[in-house]
Amino acid sequence: MTYLQSIGEVIGFLLLSTFSILDGIIRSFIPKKYKMKNIGGEIALVTGGGGGLGRLLSLRLANLGAIVIIWDINETGIEETIKLIRAAGGTCYGYVCDLCDRTDIYKKAKIIRKEIGKVTVLINNAGIVTGMKFLDTPDELIIRTMDVNIMSHFWTVKAFLPTMLESNKGHIVSVASLAGQCGIPKLIDYCASKFAAMGFDEALRMELEYEGYNINTTVVCPYFIRSTGMFDDVQSRYIPTLSPNAVADRIIMAMRCNEKYAIIPGYLQILLTLKCKRRFAKP
């Protein structure tokens, strides 16, 4: 590469960066209701849809006209979600799927393609937490946390991304956590898995953009959510725990507006910025 080529690439990079910044500023002034895409008729799959946040997301997707598929290990929870959605006039199918089993994921994905069609919206929502000190956490629980919270993202995306690429259409949502932004005692395995989920989303999005595909990805980082069975015992001193309904609404909005990144609540973005400044500050 010649000296002039190097200069040209730097100038090109600066111009593209400037354009992206200006585009983002202009888009920020457009009301969200005008940016929301229609998902009516889309086939949307939600992992962990048998209860909690996954059920709320499934209900909202169905209300917007999507054909909803839920995966969960809880068969009773699956049946309850299906009943709620169908009672409200929506379309929903459910499958028992063990997200710790890559073979089961691929098997159920093949069944879905045959019986229902091509999934165009994938929401990797399922998650578990142990809440134990690192040295007290059994190895098998650490492995299970990583399998459900991040490794399943690899397998579900590998299962459904090929058909999205064929039509150059799709959206992948990764439900991470603010625990993926900062370390928390007794949540070492959980934090690690959510850090990984954020990295997975960012690298996947960059690869898809580099290859010229119009596949959207969104990573969501909520604070502790109450009434989902995961963090009900958390005593939050300064920041109130979140309503699952509010989080579900925000996730659907982020997805429909093609947001790449959503912090919930949004004002915590300021604290994360201060954290980054502290991390890179000179000692």
Residues marked as catalytic: 190
Q: How far apart are CA 79 and CA 64, in angstroms?
A: 20
Task: Determine the residue type at 97.
Answer: C
Kindly tell me the burial class for residue 281, based on how many C-beta atoms sit within 10 Å of its own C-beta (0-12, 13-18, 19 or more).
Answer: exposed
CB-based contacts of 58: which residues, under 8 Å, 6+ apart?
46, 49, 68, 70, 81, 85, 92
Q: How far apart are CA 250 and CA 265, in angstroms?
A: 9
The kind and range of the H/E element at 147 are: none
Are 81 and 92 a contacting pair, CB within 8 Å?
Answer: yes
Q: How far apart are CA 123 and CA 251, in angstroms?
A: 10
Q: How far apart are CA 77 and CA 68, in angstroms?
A: 15
Pairing mode of beta strands 91-96, 170-175: unpaired
Task: Determine the residue type at 58.
Answer: S
Beta-bridge partners for 262: 220
Are 53 and 125 a contacting pair, CB within 8 Å?
Answer: yes
Q: How far apart are the first and last CA of the chain?
A: 38
